[in-house]
Amino acid sequence: MTGTGHASLRIDTAAGSILCDPWVNPAYFASWFPFPDNSQLDWEALGDCDYLYVSHLHRDHFDAEHLKRFVSKNATVLLPEFPTSEMRDELTGLGFTKFLETKSDEVHELDGGLKIMIQALTSPTDGPIGDSSLWVEYDGIRILNQNDARPTDLTTFNALGHVHAHLLQFSGAIWYPMVYELPEAAKRAFGKQKRDRQFDRTFRYINDLKASHVVPIAGPPCFLDDELWQFNDIFGDEGNIFPDQWVFQQEYAKVGGTNSIVLLPGSVLSLSADAAETTHPVDSLEDFFARKREHLEEMRERKRPVIEAAKASWRHPEIDVLKEMKRRIEPLLDESVYLAKGVGGPVRFDLVGYDGASVESIVVDFPEKQVRHYADEKVRYRFRTERALIEHLLFVEEIDWVNSLFLSCRFSAARIGQYNEFVYSFFKCLSEERLQYAEGWFDQQKPDAEDIKLGDWIVQRRCPHLKADLTRFGIVDGNTLTCQLHGWKFDLPSGRCLTSVGHELRSRRAGAPAPDGDTGAVAAESVVGQG
Ligand code: FES
């Protein structure tokens, strides 16, 4: 395996090579860059591969420009089984013609004895309508590239035999809590919780699979624009959610982990059943990470023109933002039942003009199914961003504002009450196809009738969020249950979800009688949110 940066790697076997998630160009409004820099690799050679695997359409995994320019169009694309045809359509548009449409959780035998299995996750909250993991076997050696996917458990992979290398995400990949308008101390405390939770989740997966070797991948990105520089984990801030591979290695050692391997871009890991040999493009990994700040500063200077060029392309003063948002969003609001009900209130966008001072406030009113000017009412969420960014989203007809605006971290946010996942699910579904899929998915969520005992409590077995098995992921501390898959918390006496609106948990004290007719109907109702 050759490390090629972030979530990207190339797997070479005698039966063929697989290039995974090659990402080089900045993503999300030129906010995210791969760390360490991978732009100097010999991409002509790396892109000359037999198979291409793109795990999902997030822009730090799907780099259209790079795929078009460097990856062989003779490569066969290993396609995850996603609910929409977007990935195939995008890759076809880039010139790829050979596709293997895999079936989720089914092993496919390729030429020469190479076997692969792709597990596709398809809830509206998994990536941009879908994320996936790739399992590979050749000559008795097995690799799981879990990537940044969050399967509820790893049973399917475990059943295929011992895994020799487990590659997975350990760092942050979201805007929370940095963009929230909160006092610094609160932000730091939330960041620390999040950072700890990320490590806990990673350790849980590692422990589930018990692979011979663990390779931390899929993050962190680095932020090279001066406006975002503070998000890099180089200031000793324990609330920073973007720890790097070296920090992971140290945290992992604290819980007894000794089998991790860090891959830099250009590192090569040779795996056999009982050994792993690694070569690196630097003399000392420790020195490399000790000089991280220097690496980033140099990279910042090199990439400055790229960022400036991107910024120069965002303004489209000819666009009437309110009118265009109405045209694009109101028909989708009309169709939306579950997501609109889940959001349950108005969401406000404060758009800061080119002068850096004037503000136009536009409200997406979910109950009234309208987009209009703000009318001084209470709103559920308020986002503040540059008008130029919204102009650009409208100009390019972006259907996924999570995979563009929100992941860019180029905004600030405030909200009343809890996190509301439906807000983000809606803004990643700004197309008929995606919206219908998401609505159908929520419609099909059935109550989960099975109960389990956790500590002194009887609770439903499956997490009301995304159905993680709470026998594995649930931790009870006093009256609070935490599901470690995404760290959501539930108040056990009331069943209330403490992390997000809706998502109520069925719970009672062990020994207390089950309420009549308690078959999970509460959980089913909660899926659509309580507004
Ligand atoms: S499945 Fe996401 S927190 Fe439980």
Gap from CA of 226 to ligand 1 centroid (Å): 35
Give the least confident one: 160-164, 184-188, 276-280, 497-501: 497-501
**48 Cα distance to chain centroid:** 28
Residue 516, pLDDT > 60, answer no
Q: What's the mean pLDDT in 20-36?
A: 98
> Of 48-62, 477-491, 497-511, which one has max mean pLDDT?
48-62
Q: Exposure of 377 by Cβ count < 10 A (0-12 exposed, 13-18 middle, 19+ buried)?
A: exposed
Q: Which atom of ligand 1 is nearest to the CA of 152?
A: 1
Hey, what are 266's tokens?
């250009």
Question: What gap in Å lies between CA 459 and CA 474, rounded to an integer?
Answer: 10
Question: What gap in Å lies between CA 150 and CA 169, rounded to an integer?
Answer: 9
The verdict on the CB of residue 468 being under 6 Å from ligand 1 is yes
Choice from 126, 486, 507, 527 to test ligand 1 binding pocket (greatest atom count within 8 A of CB): 486
Q: What's the mean pLDDT in 339-366?
A: 96
Q: What's the mean pLDDT in 87-94?
A: 97
pLDDT in tens, 169-204: 999 999 999 999 999 999 999 999 999 999 999 999
Q: Quick check: 503 and 419 in contact, CB under 8 A? A: no
pLDDT in tens, 121-171: 998 888 888 999 999 999 999 999 999 999 988 999 999 999 999 999 999
Choice from 126, 485, 497, 507 to test ligand 1 binding pocket (greatest atom count within 8 A of CB): 485
**224 Cα distance to chain centroid:** 20
Gap from CA of 482 to ligand 1 centroid (Å): 9
Give the least confident one: 51-55, 86-90, 238-242, 523-527: 523-527
pLDDT in tens, 292-326: 999 999 999 999 999 999 999 999 999 999 999 99
Q: Quick check: 340 and 369 in contact, CB under 8 A? A: yes
Residue 28, pLDDT > 50, answer yes
Q: Which atom of ligand 1 is nearest to the CA of 499?
A: 3
Residue 519, pLDDT > 50, answer no
Gap from CA of 484 to ligand 1 centroid (Å): 7
The larger pLDDT score, comparing residue 520 to residue 159, is at 159
The verdict on the CB of residue 488 being under 6 Å from ligand 1 is yes
Q: Give the 3-state secondary structure of residue 29.
A: coil
Give whole-number Cα distances, 279 to 263, 283, 285, 292, in Å.
9, 9, 11, 20
Q: Quick check: 118 and 104 in contact, CB under 8 A? A: yes
Q: Give the 3-state secondary structure of residue 419.
A: strand
The verdict on the CB of residue 486 being under 6 Å from ligand 1 is yes
Residue 517, pLDDT > 60, answer no
Hey, what are 110's tokens?
């390729």
The larger pLDDT score, comparing residue 276 to residue 129, is at 276
Q: Which atom of ligand 1 is nearest to the CA of 488?
A: 3
Q: Give the 3-state secondary structure of residue 49.
A: coil
Gap from CA of 489 to ligand 1 centroid (Å): 9
Give the least confident one: 28-37, 131-140, 257-266, 334-343: 334-343
Gap from CA of 463 to ligand 1 centroid (Å): 6
Confidence band, pLDDT 50/70/90 cuts, at residue 514: low
Gap from CA of 378 to ligand 1 centroid (Å): 29
Q: What's the mean pLDDT in 281-290?
A: 98
The verdict on the CB of residue 481 being under 6 Å from ligand 1 is no
Question: What gap in Å lies between CA 430 and CA 236, rounded to an integer?
Answer: 39
DSSP class of 38 = -
- What percent of the chain lies above the pLDDT cut of 90? 84
The verdict on the CB of residue 269 being under 6 Å from ligand 1 is no
Question: What gap in Å lies between CA 311 and CA 386, rounded to an integer?
Answer: 11
**What rounded mean pLDDT belongs to the chain?**
93
Report the pLDDT value the prediction gives residue 162, as an integer from 0 to 100: 98
Gap from CA of 114 to ligand 1 centroid (Å): 34
DSSP class of 479 = T
The verdict on the CB of residue 470 being under 6 Å from ligand 1 is no
Residue 437, pLDDT > 70, answer yes
The verdict on the CB of residue 485 being under 6 Å from ligand 1 is yes
pLDDT in tens, 210-255: 999 999 999 999 999 999 999 999 999 999 999 999 999 999 999 9
Gap from CA of 203 to ligand 1 centroid (Å): 16
The verdict on the CB of residue 465 being under 6 Å from ligand 1 is yes
Q: What's the mean pLDDT in 501-521?
A: 70
Report the pLDDT value the prediction gives residue 446, as an integer from 0 to 100: 64
Q: What's the mean pLDDT in 335-352?
A: 94
Question: What gap in Å lies between CA 240 and CA 69, rounded to an integer?
Answer: 35
Q: Which atom of ligand 1 is nearest to the CA of 487?
A: 3
pLDDT in tens, 383-404: 999 999 999 999 999 999 999 9
Give the least confident one: 266-280, 417-431, 466-480: 466-480
Q: Which atom of ligand 1 is nearest to the CA of 466?
A: 1
Report the pLDDT value the prediction gives residue 443, as an integer from 0 to 100: 74
Report the pLDDT value the prediction gives residue 432, as an integer from 0 to 100: 87
Give the position of tokens 């109550």: 447
Report the pLDDT value the prediction gives residue 521, as an integer from 0 to 100: 28
Confidence band, pLDDT 50/70/90 cuts, at residue 447: low
The verdict on the CB of residue 121 being under 6 Å from ligand 1 is no
Residue 413, pLDDT > 50, answer yes
| Neighbouring-strand partners of residue 397 | none
Gap from CA of 223 to ligand 1 centroid (Å): 28
Gap from CA of 186 to ligand 1 centroid (Å): 23
Gap from CA of 434 to ligand 1 centroid (Å): 22
Report the pLDDT value the prediction gives residue 515, as an integer from 0 to 100: 59
Give the position of tokens 């109907």: 521
Residue nearest to atom 1 of ligand 1 (CA): 466
Residue 112, pLDDT > 50, answer yes
Q: Give the 3-state secondary structure of residue 316.
A: coil
Give the residue among 225, 237, 240 at the shortest CA–CA distance from 172: 240
Report the pLDDT value the prediction gives residue 530, as an integer from 0 to 100: 23
Helix axes 321-335, 432-443, angle to 10 degrees: 30
Gap from CA of 377 to ligand 1 centroid (Å): 33
Report the pLDDT value the prediction gives residue 468, as an integer from 0 to 100: 74
Gap from CA of 299 to ligand 1 centroid (Å): 37
The verdict on the CB of residue 458 being under 6 Å from ligand 1 is no
Q: What's the mean pLDDT in 2-31?
A: 98
Report the pLDDT value the prediction gives residue 387, as an integer from 0 to 100: 98
Q: Which atom of ligand 1 is nearest to the CA of 473?
A: 4
Question: What gap in Å lies between CA 438 and CA 95, rounded to an integer?
Answer: 29
Report the pLDDT value the prediction gives residue 465, as an integer from 0 to 100: 82
Report the pLDDT value the prediction gives residue 523, as an integer from 0 to 100: 27
Q: Is the dihedral of CA 336, 499, 152, 213 positive or negative?
A: positive
DSSP state letters, 165-225? EEEEE-S--S-TTTTB---HHHHHHHHHHHHHHHHHHHHHHHHHH--SEEEEES--EEE-S
In angstroms, the first-to-last Cα distance of the chain is 48
Report the pLDDT value the prediction gives residue 362, as an integer from 0 to 100: 98
Report the pLDDT value the prediction gives residue 467, as an integer from 0 to 100: 75
